[in-house]
């Protein structure tokens, strides 16, 4: 009985010491983490860069992950990028034995350890630092520190909108360690390509082509540059701007097709000119207002407007000629030009030598039929040949209409082809 009691007492004693040792080790391990944390920060001065020999350069590796293109304003020259940076450097003041703490890494506030004071080099409004106080730093037992700040970087961008709306833009987001020279803190791009996160948000107006990250020494500063290449999505502008402009330009030509006897031709041409004017005012709101360089679509708009203006003047002038009193004889020079264009010959025909021309005279019956057609509001056949003496102002007006139709079609066809393919 005594032996059994002694045996049980020994067993309980052993179990007690085992559990006590395990509990004591856990407490000691937790105390060790706190103690190591305090020891690391006890004599740590976060304003001093990590260097045993301060003549050495602190190398900071940097990566970039793009989250979204937040804003692209070519009118104001503003570019807003949402991105996450990953910075990695070595600080031998933050080194410990992981066997004592049971952990390979610790988290520190950006106020407790040294962090590269990154400053946005090309801000849109004012200089601002990367969110230094918001994101913590992860320190590993071998002295490696990793910092991943997220930010919305509002920068200035110089846009080249000459090919608007089929333009490709290149914008830059630049950083540099504030107050540190390149020989003190050197930034190094580990990966040349800036990567897109899986949750990258597409921009409805712009397409991200590619993004690069590079570092360089400018003015004794280590500058990191994120290069963003973007392309405008042109579908909206082609459907709502380009196509209506081309159709309006084509409609100008039909002002010469409407018969001069119909009074609607003037109102038609003026309506086309006014609609083009209103459309230009609407388009100018969406076009960046700059002259360095001016978009090629602006030159196209002014060419279409000038062509429409000249077509309207030609229609007014031809209508005036068409209704000129027949008692006012057509000058011989105009008669000659009329016969030259209609006949395609260089013969000079006079009243005394009409028979020498290869142009047949119109019979009295045909002349009466033509008069009756005009009286009924029907234009005489455009190809009816008339003698030199029978040419009147209506013939000149009709000829100018045909000439204006050909010239206007060629003009608007050329500027549309040049605008679309050049």
CA angle centred on 421, ends 416 and 422, rounded to 5°: 100
The pLDDT value recorded for residue 344 is 53
- Per residue in 92-115, pLDDT tens? 889 988 887 778 889 898 888 999
- Per residue in 202-217, pLDDT tens? 888 999 999 999 999 8
Paired strand residues for 174: 225
Instruction: Output 212 or 420, whichever has higher pLDDT.
Output: 212
The pLDDT value recorded for residue 150 is 86
Locus of tokens 């395990």: 22
Cα dihedral 24, 28, 30, 34, rounded to 10, equals 160
Across the chain, what does the average pLDDT equal? 78
Q: What is the pTM of this model?
A: 0.71
Through-space distance between the first and last CA atoms of the chain, rounded to whole angstroms: 110
Distance (Å, rounded) from C-alpha 69 to C-alpha 122? 17
DSSP-assigned letter for residue 375: H
Distance (Å, rounded) from C-alpha 159 to C-alpha 378? 58
Tokens of 109: 């506030």
- Per residue in 293-318, pLDDT tens? 788 888 888 999 999 999 999 888 88
Distance (Å, rounded) from C-alpha 121 to C-alpha 178? 9
Mean pLDDT over 105-126 rounds to: 89
DSSP-assigned letter for residue 36: H
Phi, psi of 142, rounded to the nearest 5 degrees = -90, 5
Distance (Å, rounded) from C-alpha 235 to C-alpha 82? 25
The pLDDT value recorded for residue 97 is 85
Q: 237-251, 356-370, 386-400: which range is least confident on average?
A: 356-370
The pLDDT value recorded for residue 376 is 45
Phi, psi of 72, rounded to the nearest 5 degrees = -135, 105
- Please give the distance of CA 419 from its chain centroid, rounded to a whole number: 18
Distance (Å, rounded) from C-alpha 397 to C-alpha 261? 11
Locus of tokens 């119109």: 362
Distance (Å, rounded) from C-alpha 398 to C-alpha 405? 11
Statement: residue 368 has pLDDT above 80? no
Statement: residue 361 has pLDDT above 90? no
């Amino acid at each position: 009985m005594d032996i059994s009691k002694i045996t049980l007492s020994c067993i309980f004693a052993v179990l007690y010491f085992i559990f006590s040792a395990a509990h004591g080790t856990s407490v000691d391990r937790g105390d060790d983490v706190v103690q190591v944390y305090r020891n690391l920060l006890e004599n740590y001065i976060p304003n001093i860069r990590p260097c045993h020999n301060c003549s050495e350069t602190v190398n900071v590796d940097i990566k970039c992950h793009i989250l979204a293109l937040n804003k692209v304003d070519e009118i104001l020259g503003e570019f807003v990028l949402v991105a996450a940076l990953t910075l990695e450097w070595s600080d031998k003041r933050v080194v410990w034995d992981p066997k004592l703490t049971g952990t390979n890494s610790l988290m520190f506030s950006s106020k407790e350890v040294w962090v590269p004071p990154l400053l946005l080099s090309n801000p849109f409004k004012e200089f601002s630092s990367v969110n230094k106080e918001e994101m913590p730093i992860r320190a590993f037992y071998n002295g490696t520190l990793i910092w991943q700040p997220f930010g919305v970087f509002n920068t200035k961008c110089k846009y080249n909108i000459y090919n608007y709306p089929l333009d490709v833009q290149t914008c830059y987001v630049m950083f540099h360690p504030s107050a540190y020279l390149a020989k003190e803190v050197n930034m190094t791009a580990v990966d040349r390509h800036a990567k897109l996160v899986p949750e990258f948000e597409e921009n409805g107006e712009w397409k991200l082509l590619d993004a690069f990250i590079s570092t360089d020494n400018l003015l004794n500063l280590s500058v990191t540059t994120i290069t963003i290449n973007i392309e405008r999505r042109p579908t909206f502008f082609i459907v709502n701007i380009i196509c209506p402009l081309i159709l309006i330009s084509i409609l100008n030509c039909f002002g010469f097709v409407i018969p001069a006897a119909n009074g609607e031709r003037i109102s038609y041409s003026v309506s086309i000119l006014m609609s083009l004017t209103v459309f230009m005012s609407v388009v100018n709101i969406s076009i960046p207002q700059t002259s360095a360089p001016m978009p090629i679509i602006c030159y196209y708009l002014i060419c279409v407007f000038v062509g429409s203006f000249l077509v309207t003047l030609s229609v007014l002038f031809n209508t005036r000629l068409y209704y000129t009193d027949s008692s006012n004889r057509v000058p011989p020079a105009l008669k000659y030009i009329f016969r030259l264009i209609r006949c395609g010959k260089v013969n000079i025909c006079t009243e005394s030598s009409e028979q020498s021309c290869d142009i047949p005279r119109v019979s009295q019956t045909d002349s009466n039929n033509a008069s009756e057609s005009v009286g009924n509001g029907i234009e005489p056949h455009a190809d009816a040949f008339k003698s030199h003496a029978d040419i009147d102002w209506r013939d000149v007006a009709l000829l100018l209409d045909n000439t204006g139709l050909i010239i206007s079609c060629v003009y608007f066809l050329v500027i549309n082809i040049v605008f679309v393919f050049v």
